[in-house]
Amino acid sequence: MSEVKKRAESAQGKKAAYGPDIDLSSFNKNAAPHAYDAKLNSLSEEQKKFMAEVGIIASGGLRSGNFLQMDHSAVNCSAFQMGVEVMSSAEALRKYDGLKEYWWKAIDVITDKYTANAELFFNNGYFIRVEEGIKAKFPVQACLYIGEEGLAQNVHNILIAEEGSELHVITGCTTAPKIKRGLHIGISEFYIKKGAKVTFTMVHNWGEEVVVRPRTAVWVEEGATYNSNFICMKPARSIQMFPSVRLRGENAVTRLNSILVATKGSELDIGGRVVLEARGAKAEILSRTISKGGNIIARGILIGEKTDVKAHLECSGLMLSDEGSIRAIPELDGRVAGVEMSHEAALGKISQEEIEYLMARGLSEREATALIVRGFLRVEMVGLPESLKREIERLVEESEKSLF
């Protein structure tokens, strides 16, 4: 048995630092395989519709690459531009001799039982790489889909942006329409090398009883940029994630945006951690949360380790119900002189004055409320091309409809 596997075994029962503890044995480990589908013509209209809701274009148009995993099978891996590589992580492990410099390098396999399980019951994931200096013309999309009731899906994803490259990734995580219960563990290790720029947009749309434990770590090197947008507006039983970004090189930049809605029965414990390890590094963490009866914990930690770093953290919450809760926990941790870090946290309600002002223009109370909520959720997403920005705005607007 390999060293990694041995360590993973030792952590199999290790509880996570945050979030309710999940009994992993209650989920199925085995899934029926799905055949490879080079043209994606085996998807039903309903499946396509569900994928579209998380930003995945099943026809593959206007994309530089595509990855689709259904249950445990990589059903489609394609790249449409020279210098852009898309394959399953199982294949990448074979092709690149175990991905020694990347596999379990940014994340420790013994972090908790979820990382340990992802190693012990590995069910694939995506490998995306952009070669040096290549600018991906369109986004690369990756869809992780659960189609079997009660299934555990343990994926391990690797993203490598070589020096000077540029890439937009859209990840859509969703379950089949009929699926209620499932478990998704997603290990994501991203390496953004010198001068590269990556934006990563992830939309979650799960079944009501699905448990989700992503474990994400990103290394950002000198002069590189990593921007992430996470959108989760549909119900899920429990999502706990605390992606960690290390700004390792001078002038590295990151911005983490989250748009979260928790309906009754949903528990979302979502955070962002940025360690500013080099001079001139800049970070921003921004979350917009709405509780409509569900519970949200919005965390954020900025750690300033070198002088001349600058970072800001903002958590805004809106309570739309007397049930549920929002807890905003922003933390700043400065470790040397010359760090500049700040945070704002605010929880509010929709003001009657604003509603009535809009009603005086002829909007009904419902329309006015919806417009105010839409405004609240509108986050300026920097670094995205206009078409992608519109695409994301449309996804958010679609999801808003279910709020009212």
Tell me how far apart the alpha carbons of residues 265 and 34 are, in angstroms, rounded to a whole number: 32
Helix/strand/coil for 184? strand
Tell me how far apart the alpha carbons of residues 144 and 174 are, in angstroms, rounded to a whole number: 6
Question: Based on CB atoms, which residue is closest to another protein, 91 or 365?
Answer: 365
Question: Based on CB atoms, which residue is closest to another protein, 97 or 353?
Answer: 353
Kindly report the number of other CB atoms within 10 A of residue 391's CB atom.
17
Tell me how far apart the alpha carbons of residues 124 and 262 are, in angstroms, rounded to a whole number: 29
**Between residue 303 and residue 362, which ones bind another protein under the rule CB under 8 A?**
351-354, 356-362
Minimum Å gap between C-beta 358 and another protein is 7
**Between residue 378 and residue 397, which ones bind another protein under the rule CB under 8 A?**
378
Minimum Å gap between C-beta 259 and another protein is 11
Minimum Å gap between C-beta 266 and another protein is 23
Q: What ranges in 21-83 are assigned the alpha helix state H?
A: 45-53
**Between residue 354 and residue 373, which ones bind another protein under the rule CB under 8 A?**
354, 356-365, 367-368, 371-372
Question: Based on CB atoms, which residue is closest to another protein, 342 or 351?
Answer: 351
Kindly report the number of other CB atoms within 10 A of residue 59's CB atom.
13
E strands within 193-251? Answer: 197-205, 209-220, 225-232, 238-241, 244-247
End-to-end C-alpha distance for the chain, whole angstroms: 53
Tell me how far apart the alpha carbons of residues 192 and 159 are, in angstroms, rounded to a whole number: 8
Using the rule CB under 8 A, which residue among 16, 158, 377, 396 binds another protein?
A: 377
Question: Based on CB atoms, which residue is closest to another protein, 120 or 372?
Answer: 372
Minimum Å gap between C-beta 377 and another protein is 7
Helix/strand/coil for 134? coil
CB 271 within 8 A of CB 244: no
Interface with another protein (CB under 8 A), residue total 23
Question: Based on CB atoms, which residue is closest to another protein, 96 or 376?
Answer: 376
Strand order in the sheet with 253-263: 73-79, 65-70, 140-146, 166-175, 197-205, 225-232, 253-263, 282-292, 310-319, 340-348
Q: Which of 156, 127, 144 is nearest to 4 (CA)?
A: 156
Tell me how far apart the alpha carbons of residues 284 and 241 are, in angstroms, rounded to a whole number: 17
Question: Based on CB atoms, which residue is closest to another protein, 349 or 361?
Answer: 361
**Between residue 220 and residue 279, which ones bind another protein under the rule CB under 8 A?**
none
Minimum Å gap between C-beta 376 and another protein is 6
Tell me how far apart the alpha carbons of residues 298 and 271 are, in angstroms, rounded to a whole number: 6
**Between residue 11 and residue 40, which ones bind another protein under the rule CB under 8 A?**
none
Minimum Å gap between C-beta 157 and another protein is 32
Using the rule CB under 8 A, which residue among 150, 374, 389, 403 binds another protein?
A: 374
Question: Based on CB atoms, which residue is closest to another protein, 126 or 230?
Answer: 230
Q: Which of 301, 173, 191 is nearest to 239 (CA)?
A: 173
Question: Based on CB atoms, which residue is closest to another protein, 142 or 368?
Answer: 368
Q: What token pair was written down for 63?
A: 């994309």
Site string for another protein, 143-182 (x = CB under 8 A): ----------------------------------------
The string of DSSP codes covering 246-258 is EE-STT-EEEEEE
Minimum Å gap between C-beta 345 and another protein is 16
Minimum Å gap between C-beta 366 and another protein is 10
Question: Based on CB atoms, which residue is closest to another protein, 1 or 360?
Answer: 360
Minimum Å gap between C-beta 316 and another protein is 9
Minimum Å gap between C-beta 352 and another protein is 6
Question: Based on CB atoms, which residue is closest to another protein, 203 or 370?
Answer: 370
Residues found near another protein in the complex (CB under 8 A): 351-354, 356-365, 367-368, 371-372, 374-378
